[in-house]
Amino acid sequence: MLQAVADGLKLIVKEVSIPSRANRVIFIAAPILIIVISLTVFAALPISTYTNVNFINSYVDILILFAISSFGVYGVILAGWSSNSKYSFLGSLRSAAQMISYEVFFSLIILVILLLTKSSNFVDIVINQYNTV
């Protein structure tokens, strides 16, 4: 769970090197966008099932998770596009294509969980896992 925090700390501590032809605003905003999106995904995860303390508790928690996490692709594309180099832009498009292909398999795995629990609410999924163990 601390991987996003560790990546953010590494990003802050690293030396900033901005290419001379880069669009500075977008070049700096792209990693910030990725960090904000990756940390926003944690809002959909249940904190406690018994006290009902959750940031987002709805019947479409899985769809919210997919919607928020899919915006990370835009940050990767913006990072490659803002450097104003065709090679970094092509590399970012390749990375975005990989992210999208991983999301397809991730959604198929989540589909199995939805079929077994018959619910798309994270609290119901956690309660169902607790009852089956």
Token output for 119: 């619910």
pLDDT of residue 53: 63
pLDDT in tens, 79-115: 899 988 899 999 999 999 998 898 889 889 988 988 8
Instruction: For 48-66, give the DSSP string.
Output: BTTTTB-S--STTHHHHHH
Token output for 26: 């977008």
pLDDT (average), residues 8-15 = 83
Longest dimension (CA), the chain: 58
User: Could you tell me which residues come within 8 angstroms of residue 87 by beta carbon, excluding any fewer than 6 positions away?
Assistant: none
pLDDT (average), residues 73-77 = 91
Whether this model's pTM surpasses 0.85: no
Terminal-residue alpha carbon distance, the chain: 23
Residues 27, 68: contact at Cβ < 8 Å? no
pLDDT (average), residues 59-87 = 87
